[in-house]
Structure 1
Amino acid sequence: MTQTPTPAPRRRMLKSVRLVFNNGHSVVNGVLRDISDTGARVSVENGLSLPDEVKLVLDDGGSHQCIIVRRELKELGLRFT
Structure 2
Amino acid sequence: MLRQRTLLGGVVAFNGRRSTLDCTIRNLSDHGALMILSDAVALPEAFDIEIPSRQRQYPARLKWRNGNRIGIAFADTADVVP
TM-score range, shorter chain: 0.7 to 0.9
Q: Cα RMSD between the aligned structures?
A: 1.2
Aligned to 1:50: 43
2:61 corresponds to which of 51, 57, 67: 67
Aligned to 2:10: 17
Aligned to 1:38: 31
Unaligned stretches of 5+ in structure 1? 1-7
Unaligned stretches of 5+ in structure 2? 76-82
CA distance in 1, matches of 2:40, 2:50: 16
**Aligned-pair identity (%):** 22
- Letter paired with 2:46: E
C-alpha deviation, 1:48, in angstroms: 5.0
TM-score, reference length from structure 1: 0.85
C-alpha deviation, 1:49, in angstroms: 0.5
TM-score, reference length from structure 2: 0.84
Runs of 4+ aligned structure 1 residues displaced above 4 Å come to none
C-alpha deviation, 1:46, in angstroms: 2.5
Q: Is the contact made by 1:47 and 1:75 (CA closer than 8 Å) also made in structure 2? A: no
CA distance in 1, matches of 2:23, 2:41: 13
Residue-pair matches, total: 74
